[in-house]
C-alpha cells in the first residue's frame, strides 16, 4: 500500500475513533500533500510524501523551540504531539554509524576531497538518505569526512 493511501486510511480510523488531535495532524499532512500535487502538477509518490513529512516535522521542531523559549508549554506540547504522529510515517531512521558508513561510501564513489566538494556530496547523500536520516546530522558527518 502506498504511503499516501495509508495516511488516508489512518485518517478514516482517527475519524471513527474520534481522535481529534491525531485527525487534525493527519488532515494537515494530507492538505500539504494535495497542495504539493496541485502546485507541481504531479501525483505524490512515497518519496514526495516522506520529504513533506520531514519538512513538516522540521517546522514543528522549530515551533517547539520558539514556544518553549517564550514559555508557552501548552503550544509546545501540542506541536510535540503532532511530531509524534508525523514520525509514524517516516521510514526507520539510520544510526550515526550507518550514516557515517553511507557518507564514506559516497565520498569514495565521488572521489571527493576537501570542503569544496561539500555540495556535490550533499546532493548525492540527499538522494540516497532522504527520509531515513536527519539531514543536519548528515551534514555534520559530511563536513567531518571531507575535513580528513
> Within 10 A of 148 (CB to CB), how many other CB atoms are there?
8
**pLDDT tens, position by position, 16-34:** 999 999 999 999 999 999 9
* Per-residue confidence band for 87, with pLDDT thresholds at 50, 70 and 90: very high
pTM recorded for the entire structure: 0.76
CATH of the domain at 119: 1.10.10.410
What average pLDDT score do residues 50-78 get? Answer: 94
- Distance of alpha carbon 12 from the chain centroid: 23
For the chain, helix, strand, coil in percent to 5 are 80, 0, 20
User: Over 80: is that where the pLDDT of 46 sits?
Assistant: yes
Assess whether 28 and 82 both reside in one domain.
yes
How far apart, in Å, are the Cα atoms of 4 and each of 40, 72, 89, 90?
17, 33, 10, 12
Assess whether 11 and 65 both reside in one domain.
yes
Structural domain range at position 120: 96-147
How many whole angstroms separate alpha carbon 71 and alpha carbon 68? Answer: 5
Amino acid at each position: 500500500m502506498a504511503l499516501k493511501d495509508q495516511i488516508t486510511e489512518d485518517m478514516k480510523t482517527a475519524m471513527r475513533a474520534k481522535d481529534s488531535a491525531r485527525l487534525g495532524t493527519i488532515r494537515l499532512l494530507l492538505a500539504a500533500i494535495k497542495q504539493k500535487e496541485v502546485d507541481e502538477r504531479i501525483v505524490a509518490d512515497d518519496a514526495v510524501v516522506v520529504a513533506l513529512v520531514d519538512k513538516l516535522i522540521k517546522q514543528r521542531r522549530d515551533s517547539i523551540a520558539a514556544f518553549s523559549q517564550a514559555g508557552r508549554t501548552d503550544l509546545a506540547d501540542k506541536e510535540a504531539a503532532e511530531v509524534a504522529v508525523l514520525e509514524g510515517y517516516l521510514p526507520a531512521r539510520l544510526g550515526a554509524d550507518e550514516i557515517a558508513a553511507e557518507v564514506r561510501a559516497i565520498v569514495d564513489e565521488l572521489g571527493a576531497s576537501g570542503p569544496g566538494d561539500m555540495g556535490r556530496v550533499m546532493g548525492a547523500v540527499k538522494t540516497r538518505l532522504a527520509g531515513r536520516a536527519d539531514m543536519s546530522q548528515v551534514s555534520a558527518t559530511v563536513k567531518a569526512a571531507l575535513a580528513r
